[in-house]
Structure 1
Amino acid sequence: MSHREAGERLLQNAGTLAEKITEKQYRLQPDLMERFGPIGKIRTKEDSRYSLSYLAESVLVKSPSLFTHYISWLKVLLAGYRVSAEDLEVNLQLIKESLEEEFEHPYLEFLLEYLEMGIEATRQSESHRSFIHASLPYGLEAQAYVQHLLHNQRKEAFELLETELDAGASIRDLYRYIFQPAQYEIGRLWQQSEISVGQEHFCTAATQSFISRLYSRWLLQPNQGKRLVAACVGSEQHEIGLRMLTDVFEMEGWDTYYLGANVPNGSIVEAIGLHESDVVAISVTMTYHLHLAKDLIQRIRSHAETAHVKIMVGGYPFNIDKELWRAVGADGYAPGAEEAVAVAERLLIHPVSLDNMSAASESGKG
């Protein structure tokens, strides 16, 4: 029996377990109904299922840091809804109790090892530092950009971008030093309940529209005769990072085929073959979609016409665990668009093995 089997079994039973855990918590803490009402019980069930899914994925790929990072993130998010760290710890202890009832050894050992780390994470203090700092390149401009968006000032936000371009900034500078940290910062503000879901969506939509409006100002390199297919896995909706990555490849002279989100695996494999892709970029934001990335990679490898294609992965879970790309079967990983171009070029020039690809990724940074 393995970590993989334990994780897969937990994924299969997450829904049923979440129901049981929620009922237990509301019996143990009857004040929860008074504090949060019926909707609170529904959300407790949803959060329990997410926690179980994150735990399962972490065990599947043998990466406890994925689960502990999630619990630390969840603790901050729930605090904005008046759910205390103690409430969260009670929930995790009930998850432990339910796992002990439902799972036998050695499955249970794998799950409890990671769960205990998550419980400990509820007792740690969290950092709330901004992703934008005046000391960073274009830091002041990024701060102003976020403030314009938060105050519904789309016109002023776009004028700021045009001013920077006229002053000598490149589109890639805007992507790396304004758009990317701005998206992280907006996500942080939402997590801490400082802005609403509606504001978060508005800011993201505004940035996406600005990206489209800036196409006419691109500076393109000569065509390199190389092809990239880029897609998000499963039902991922966080696609703006992958879109910027695809744009940077296009600026470097690659032919790119951006598929975006909600594309079935079969269609992705078909597109790779149809466009005779050299490299595939797969984006994962939600940790509970990691198994979908692994499934997609296996499917790409299993088709004769796509088996040769080099596969890069990126996104939030891969930034937490820098070795995670190995677990899903990819050829490499890059933390951002600029690094991705370097890794892709290196993969095509030197078809490196999984044992030394990490060095290629690291050397592409900066």
Structure 2
Amino acid sequence: MKISELKYDVTPISLEYFKQRSFEIIFEVFNSMNTLDDELIKEYILTIGSDELYESLKYHYDIVYSSILTKNYDLLKDFFIWKYSVYKSRGVDTDCFLKEYELWKEVISNSLYISHSSEINIIYDYLILNHEKFKLNAQETKKIVVNKKYQELFDELLFCLLNGEKSKFYDLVQKNLNLFDNNIFLFIQELINPLMYKVGQLWQLNELSVAKEHLASSLIDEVVNYYIKDNFFEDSNKQKAITSTVGDESHNLGIKIVGKFLESNGFNVKNLGSKISNKELINSIYDLKPNLVVLSVTLPSNVATLQQIVKELKSDYNLFSGKIIVGGQGLFVNNKIIPIKEADFCSKNLEDLKEFLQTLK
């Protein structure tokens, strides 16, 4: 069932007040849900627990804010279809979300001036209107796209991951690298990245335990580190690059791969890792004065944070004059790029990144 389109602009002042009151709004929705005498809400909280509820509400806010800031409501729609599918797979009656939306509306109305709250609450009217459609669309699992000629190999690698067959996984990688001219980066692009997405999806849909998800992720990390060794030496004549995730990203394997790829293309690279504060990230860039900055988001909830960092870096060319590349799964919704203003380039994959690097030379 097709979900209706939302084409609507929230004024900058309303969005700013929504941002300023974010903590109070999230906390008040959290408290209201915990004290509400509603059976569906009670069962929902009992299933996921109070800690996960709070994190879920914070993630919800970040998605709504990012969608409004970038004016990309496909991001909003994609998130709620995902949310319905995840919690439905855990036995939650997703009709509880209707009550949650009403609570968001009520809290926002009490927290902001009426002229500002009415603009934000149009988003929640949209969610309520499309509730039944979200439920239907959530039944369709998003297909992980793999090149057809590698589908059989992908299935074998996935089987090894899910069953902890480490030696066989290594053998499959070694035996099939020649299909990619022994280029590990191409192998990662065509097979490792889709494998990572598939494992994450299985975990989200409650089809894979947390323990197995961690084991699979660790094995992927180990294999990548084995083939991409630290054999590049710093050279003062090379251009400098900084790589980092943005916001509260937990996984940094993807940006680590990008860093090694940049090293193989002649850059001295400093990887700042993950969960670095915006202030620390920006100050590091100002201090190190790199020629290139690559920032990645896996979670779409961090898109707004990425936009704000890029905007600040580009606001004063006396402090930073290099190029900014953005990328990561969080920037792509239904194969469409969420544009980040002021960024010099948005990279879909390593091949895409290589083409941009050639333009710099």
- Corresponding residue number in structure 2 for 1:110: 119
Partners of 1:89 and 1:122 within 8 A in 2: yes
Q: For each residue in 1:241-299, what CA deviation from the matched residue of structure 2 results, as whole angstroms up to 9, or x when unmatched?
A: 22222222233333332222133445544554565522211112233333432343244
Quote the Cα distance in structure 2 between the aligned partners of 1:224 and 1:174.
30
Q: What is the alpha-carbon distance in structure 2 between the residues aligned to residue 9 and residue 232 of structure 1?
A: 27
1:307 corresponds to which of 297, 320, 330 = 320
1:137-159, Cα deviation, whole Å (9 max, x unpaired) = 42221221122111112222111
Aligned equivalent of 1:138, options 150, 160, 170: 150
What's the secondary structure of 1:106's corresponding residue? helix
CA shift in 2, pair 1:91/1:269, >3 Å: closer
Tell me the amino acid that sits aligned with residue 21 of structure 1.
Answer: V
Aligned residues: 343
Q: What TM-score do you get using the length of structure 1 for normalisation?
A: 0.81
> For 1:13, which of 21, 25, 35 is the aligned residue?
21
Could you tell me which of 171, 188, 192 is aligned with 1:179? 192
Letter in 2 for 1:69: D
- What's 1:362 paired with? none
Query: How many percent of aligned residue pairs carry the same amino acid?
Result: 17
**8 Å contact from structure 1 (residues 227, 277) kept in 2:** yes
Corresponding residue of 1:119: 128
CA contact under 8 A between 1:230 and 1:257: conserved in structure 2? yes
- The Cα shift of 1:199 comes to 2.2
Computed over aligned residues only, the root mean square deviation of the Cα atoms, in angstroms, reads: 3.2
From 321, 325, 335, give the equivalent of 2:348: 335
SS at match of 2:49: helix
Taking the aligned partners of 1:302 and 1:179, their CA distance within structure 2 comes to 37
Amino acid at match of 1:297: V
Call closer, same or farther: CA 1:245–1:110 in 2, change over 3 Å.
Answer: farther
Counterpart position of 1:215:
228
**Residue segments in structure 1 that go unaligned for 5+ positions in a row:** 350-366
Q: Which string of whole-angstrom CA distances, capped at 9 and with x for unpartnered residues, describes residues 140-193 of structure 1?
A: 212211221111122221111111125644212211111110011111111111
Choose which of 133, 140, 159 in structure 1 pairs with 2:171.
159
Flag the structure with more relative contact order, 1 or 2, with Cα contacts below 8 A and sequence separation at least 6: 2
Q: Retained in 2: the 8 A contact 1:55–1:115? A: no
Q: Report what 1:52 is aligned to.
A: 61
**Higher mean C-alpha displacement, 166-175 vs 156-165:** 166-175
Q: 1:237 to 1:31 in 2, by over 3 A?
A: closer
Instruction: From the superposition, tell whether residues 294 and 132 of structure 1 become closer, same or farther in structure 2 (CA, over 3 Å).
Output: closer
Flag structure 2 segments of 5+ consecutive residues without an equivalent.
1-8
Is 1:95–2:108 an aligned residue pair?
no
Q: Distance in 2 between matches of 1:40 and 1:273?
A: 42
- The 3 A distance-change label for structure 1 pair 139 and 4 is farther
2:252 is matched with which residue: 234, 239, 242?
A: 239
SS in 2 for 1:231: strand
